[in-house]
A and B are shown apart, each in its own frame.
Chain A
């Protein structure tokens, strides 16, 4: 019961700002400890309990991933573009980092079937290529002055 209430609270207060499932996926993955696989959210843990908060975050993480699996490529490109805008990182740097590091690979919830995750990775790869081509067409000389994080 606590978990449902915590998940509802999380959706209403925090996730409501994030309209794209990709944005939610990355955010929720960032609340997970790499070493333990447990999710932690200070405010939610204070309001409910650490266990309930962890479960709620995991549920919302899976939910965001399922949305991403069901998204068409067009929706994914739109989501990626919106996410890029929300990060306020130079588009070129973002593309280079995402193509090189593939950070989405560590943003997958645990216990997901490998085929679903491979489908999402594959779609993101194509979406990135489309976005890159679109950005190149839009601003040819607009390359970033920052050093590239991934070479």
Chain B
């Protein structure tokens, strides 16, 4: 009797899992274009607007701090630290926002269009998790220790963001104009006009 109950429970459990899997919504095809455009925009913002090395160096550059402290400590020094803290927090917030946008794209749509290997997907998932954690930790550190107390975390964040950008770039590579150009050239040979 106990054995029968056990089998019934296992069977019921399997049915529940099947039901849950069946109810899972697949990514709708409509709206995919918008998702791609948004992901492409997020990637461009990260690569060109938020992650360029010279911009990060500028925000967290200690030379500026030394200069202000040497020139006019006190009130102006405080103003400078306040401003740099505001800018660095803004930077983290923006990076987090764009990363979340890319993550959403990968979660919902990329599997439909780009074949990623399991290892790449796991690495990507870990990088996203690390990035979101790094963003949160960096925000706390910036609040507590100011813009010059989180150098290591800034490095971790930018390195992980760079990796995620490289993977996303591969997933979205088919949207790049050069490929469209080669397609245009190839088809022109057959007399087809695009």
Contacts and interface: CB of A to CB of B under 8 A. Distances in A.
Contacts of A130: 68, 71-72, 76
**Interface magnitude class on chain A:** 10 to 19
DSSP majority for the A interface? helix
A126 B80 contact: yes
Contacts of B87: 115, 118-119, 122
A150 interface: no
A115 B50 contact: yes
A73 to B, nearest CB: 4
A73 B69 CA distance: 12
A72 interface: yes
Contact of A126 (B48, B50, B61, B68): B68
Contact of B55 (A72, A116, A133): A116
Contacts, number: 64
A17 interface: no
B145 interface: no
A47 interface: no
A125 B49 CA distance: 22
Given A115-B49, A116-B49, A118-B87, A70 B54 contact: yes
Interface in B85-143: 86-87, 90-91, 94
Given A70-B54, A72-B61, A130-B71, A122 B86 contact: yes
Interface size class of B (residues with CB under 8 A): 20 to 34
A77 B72 CA distance: 13
- Most A CB contacts (10 A, CB to CB) among B48, B75, B90 go to B90
Contacts of B80: 73, 126
B88 to A, nearest CB: 10
B63 A72 contact: yes
Interface string A106-117: 000000010110
A119 B56 CA distance: 11
Nearest to A125: B83
Contact of A133 (B54, B76, B94): B76
A96 interface: no
A115 B76 contact: no
Given A115-B94, A122-B83, A74 B59 contact: no
A89 interface: no
A58 to B, nearest CB: 17
A118 B68 CA distance: 19
Interface in B42-83: 45, 48-50, 54-55, 58-59, 61, 63-64, 67-68, 71-72, 75-76, 79-80, 83
B84 interface: yes
A50 B84 CA distance: 41
A73 B48 CA distance: 22
Contacts of A45: none
B90 A115 contact: yes
A70 B63 CA distance: 13
13 contacts: A69-B54, A69-B58, A73-B80, A74-B64, A77-B71, A113-B45, A115-B49, A123-B83, A126-B79, A126-B83, A129-B72, A129-B75, A130-B68
Interface of A: 69-70, 72-74, 77, 113, 115-116, 118-119, 122-123, 125-126, 129-130, 133-134
Given A118-B87, A122-B83, A133-B72, 15 more contacts: A69-B54, A69-B58, A70-B54, A72-B67, A73-B67, A115-B55, A116-B55, A119-B59, A122-B84, A123-B64, A125-B79, A126-B79, A129-B75, A129-B79, A130-B76
